[in-house]
Structure 1
Amino acid sequence: MSPGSASFSRRIKDELVLSPCTSACCRQVELAAAIWSAGKFTASRIDFTTGHARIAARLADLLKAEYGLTPVLRQGRELVSLRIEPSDWVNRLRQAIADMFLTAGRIDIADWSPCCRQALLRSLFLACGSVSEPQAAYHMELAIRQENQAAGTIQNLLGQLGLNTSLAGRGHYQVLYLREGQHLADYLILAGAHRSLLTFESLRVEKEMRNSVNRVVNCDNANLQRVANTAARQSELYRALQARSLEQQLPEDVLAAAQVRFENPDLTLRELGALMVPPLGKSGMNHRLMRFEQLGSDLLARKEG
């Protein structure tokens, strides 16, 4: 990304925070998921803190629309806090969370409407999500407050949507994370972040093309180095045989191949084979030079032994 541009996480949140949420069921899901995953609970209040002012404002609007509640918003230097009080409202929201996520039986997200599933994923990312820059790595996290004991249920719900996350502890948080590009793309689709998805897919294609080119270049470089090393070894063997007047003891066809190699150290096997009389193919030239290395080394060994 260019210097001074917003992070990819920020750009996703900038998109999601503007998503409409007009149905009561979706407002309830979005509020419950955000408060349960990222809220700090005491007996008399709930505090929610974010570095994105529009997220705090969105939650305040949803609370007003759904419950007629006006929370206290405080703007700090870098963070915005939202406080819900008094205790009767705290208890009411606790009950709403329990009714939605803490039922006795298994929660089957297939029974939820598509808009509520989208509201869940949107809310989780807005409240506690982050993602690495796609050019560097495919890694998305949901950092869920440990004391709220929400991570296990959320992991199960994501799994039902085909988003198989890993879970790790980090300080006061339980962190759910995705490390596959396709899972990250699926999350963006299901959360309704379509503009961010297009950006992500574009960056993913660029990254994969760059990696593919690098693999080809590295392979070509390795092949060139191997050819250079082989040519140097064979040329050195030919010089050693010449210095001891042993080269004439080689079979005529092998000697001819050795001489062509010695005189043309930069040519490929195919190019060397074309200089032979009669011409040889790549495999034929390679076989003849291998015979040269074997026979030449044996001659040197007998001479020096």
Structure 2
Amino acid sequence: MSFTTQVKEETSGRWDYRECCYKAELTGLIDTIGNVNISSQGLSLHISTQNPHVARRIYRLISEKIGIEAKIYTRTETRLLKKQSFQVAVLGQENTVKLLKLIGRESWPLETYIIPESVLEWSCCRNAYLRGVFLASGSVSDPKKSYHLEMITHWPEHAVQILALLDRHEIKAQIIERKNNQVIYLKDSNAIADFLVLIGAVNAMLEYENTRALKETINMANRMRNCDLANTERQSIASDQQIDYIEFLHSRGEYSKLTSALKEAADLRLLNPEDSLRELAEQLQISKSALNHRFRSLKQKAQEKGWEPQQR
């Protein structure tokens, strides 16, 4: 099951909202994927979706919460993958006009797109409207892979108003055009988590947050491991170079001229080629800074006698 399907299944199964919210949710669904047909029998409303949970919810919203007769059909496309889709229909001029008026759509098609004031009055209804839009056309990536949530609408004005609704909840989104449609999308993981709570997908949000936390923990562990590897590599390069100029001083007969402190540092490095500067300093019971100063002095003396670092 995809994460999108999981979110829609959970959201479609919740019926613990206020009555006003169901009309707002249905408005979001119809605004996004509803089609009004005109025939010799008059008007009819059709809402199509490929998600069976969403189809059943639309049917129940219309027939049980609104009280208008609806029918649900199953269709199987014969081309390519033979995808199954579901269509909820309100048939007959009287029922269709009644439903359109209930959701604030006095005429169809719309000349200008404005979300009805009844949807904008209460925060619970604004949330419900966004839930309807997401159920109609939304998708969200599996947080194991990426952070991306989007909703699609055909109307540019609709997209702008959805963006404004999200902004009222301090959820920042953007709009792009794709195949003559408007795509409202979120890329920020915190914004996606907030949106899931807003539309009522609480369990999905908890799983999302757990996955995100695990992912961030793994990324942090990898960064620390890479940092340790880099430190080990730098330590190895520094140790090899120190051994090189110490052996150079030996070969030039300069070792005997060194102070006892420098000899002590040189001998310890030759005996412990893999130890870090901190480990060597602990053996000598001096600070890392003091030991580093001794190695710089050894290096300077080697350079004065012609030593040059090898390229790695």
Please classify the TM superposition score into its range, dividing by the shorter chain length.
0.7 to 0.9
**After alignment, is 135-144 or 90-99 more displaced?**
90-99
Kindly state the Cα deviation for residue 252 of structure 1 after the two structures are TM-superposed. 3.7
Provide the C-alpha distance between the structure 2 equivalents of 1:255 and 1:41, rounded to a whole number of angstroms: 93
1:274 aligns with 2:269: no
**Aligned to 1:215, which of 223, 226, 229?**
223
| Gap regions ≥5 residues in structure 2 | 77-82, 107-112
| Gap regions ≥5 residues in structure 1 | 1-5
1:33 aligns with 2:28: yes
Alignment of 1:141-180 (within 5 A): 141-144=150-153, 146-147=154-155, 149-180=157-188
Provide the C-alpha distance between the structure 1 equivalents of 2:299 and 2:69, rounded to a whole number of angstroms: 88
Alignment of 1:1-305 (within 5 A): 6-20=1-15, 23-40=18-35, 46-65=45-64, 66-76=66-76, 77-85=83-91, 96-98=103-105, 102=114, 109=120, 111-114=121-124, 116-144=125-153, 146-147=154-155, 149-276=157-284, 279-300=285-306
**1:3: which partner in 2?**
none
Provide the C-alpha distance between the structure 2 equivalents of 1:182 and 1:238, rounded to a whole number of angstroms: 55
Report the identity percentage. Answer: 28
Number of aligned positions between the proteins: 290
Residue 132 of structure 2 aligns with an amino acid whose one-letter code is S
**Contact residue 37 and residue 148 of structure 1 kept, 8 A:** no
More helix by share: 1
Residue 144 of structure 2 aligns with an amino acid whose one-letter code is Q
Residue 139 of structure 2 aligns to a residue whose secondary structure is strand
Deviations 1:131-181 (A, max 9, x none): 11112222211122x247411111111111111111111113211111222
Q: CA RMSD in A?
A: 2.8
Kindly state the Cα deviation for residue 235 of structure 1 after the two structures are TM-superposed. 1.1
**After alignment, is 22-31 or 282-291 more displaced?**
22-31
Deviations 1:265-297 (A, max 9, x none): 111212212333xx3122211222122223322
Provide the C-alpha distance between the structure 2 equivalents of 1:205 and 1:284, rounded to a whole number of angstroms: 43
Residue 289 of structure 1 aligns with an amino acid whose one-letter code is F
Q: Normalised by the size of structure 1, how large is the TM-score?
A: 0.83
